[in-house]
Copies of this chain bind each other. A is one copy, B any other.
């Protein structure tokens, strides 16, 4: 950690700060400049609440130098993490993964038809929501377990894996038989108790970035899962909130190379939520893979315009077919396959 003192800080103030640092188990090295002193602290600063120091008299600012996450950091696994599923499908390796399906599971016909089309197009995961967190209490709230059963059946029938969102701790246990990949939604990215529980589970987790979360906060959240011993975490960029209203969110494509640099975890892009518009999904899916993403997750529905939720951002199966064709070319261009 670094404590930069104000130009007019007195010797007493500097000594007082050094005392507090030493008390916290930190070794202090002082640099005295013509106008300013700098205190460099070495020791257990990763777990220290640095805000304590910010308000001490004479302090200009305090900066943590070591990254606050450990297990999620690139240094922990420089070669990168490859998450492997029971049927041999991987995320984070050479192959780019495609996850697709409806926002909500609605009925047997819908989910079976979707699964068929996803498989035919080259997808490897069937996505679909059974519990739907909706901002209005008056909107459709999901089918629950019966929806998961339908998804599982449809996925089995077509050789797909199942990814579905878990919204609270009590849902983990009942969902276990049905899902291959637990999805944590953007709104739960900082539901730390849920993350901690998922750290105890032995199934991979897809962790979506919150709409106001920094990449650093996303990695800190993944740390909750990793620190429980569950190393199979896949991150997901799905758009952040900005002032621009032409798209529902602003998909932060640069977060993909940033994550690749800072962390060993795989990352996929979600252009459906990232843009909120069906006609923007394909260009942003291509962009995500071109920028180095390990896969995409998109919303597909056989009757997209009549989807019970997220209709505007859901693709028709024919559009998904076309997208997969283009993705194959882009994957090749960046030295990967699909």
A280 to B137, CA, bound (A): 29
Q: Mark A138-163, 1 if CB is under 8 A from B, else 0.
A: 11100000000000000000000000
Q: Check if B280 sits within 8 Å of A258, measured CB to CB.
A: yes
Closest chain B CB from A127 CB (angstroms): 18
Q: Which of B60, B196, B253 meets A65, CB within 8 Å?
A: B60
Binary per-residue interface labels of chain A (187-229) against chain B in the complex, 1 for a CB within 8 Å, 0 otherwise: 1101111001000000000000011101111001101100100
B55-A304 in contact (CB<8A) = yes
The answer on a CB contact under 8 Å between B55 and A312 is yes
Chain B residues whose CB sits within 8 angstroms of the CB of A27 once the complex forms: 33
Does the CB pair A47–B255 fall under 8 Å?
no
Flag whether A168 is at the interface (Cβ < 8 A): yes
A322 within 8 A of B: no
Least distance between A190 CB and chain B CB atoms (Å): 5
> Given A49-B309, A284-B257, are A134 and B244 neighbors across the interface (CB < 8 Å)?
no
In the complex, chain B residues whose CB is within 8 Å of the CB of A34: 42
**Bound complex: CA A212 to CA B242 (Å):** 9
Contact among B134, B193, B280 with A192 in the assembled complex (CB-CB below 8 Å): B134
> Is the beta-carbon distance between B332 and A220 smaller than 8 angstroms?
no
Contact residues, A227-261 vs B (CB, 8 A): 227, 240-247, 250-258, 261
In the A-B complex, list the 5 residue pairs whose CB atoms are closest, starting with the nearest: A212-B212, A33-B42, A51-B312, A329-B333, A290-B290
* Contact surface of A with B, Cβ cutoff 8 Å: 2, 4, 7-8, 20, 27, 29, 31-36, 38, 40, 42-43, 46-47, 49, 51-52, 54-56, 60, 63, 65-66, 68-69, 75, 133-140, 167-169, 187-188, 190-193, 196, 210-212, 214-217, 220-221, 223-224, 227, 240-247, 250-258, 261-262, 274-280, 283-284, 286-292, 304-313, 326, 329-330, 332-334
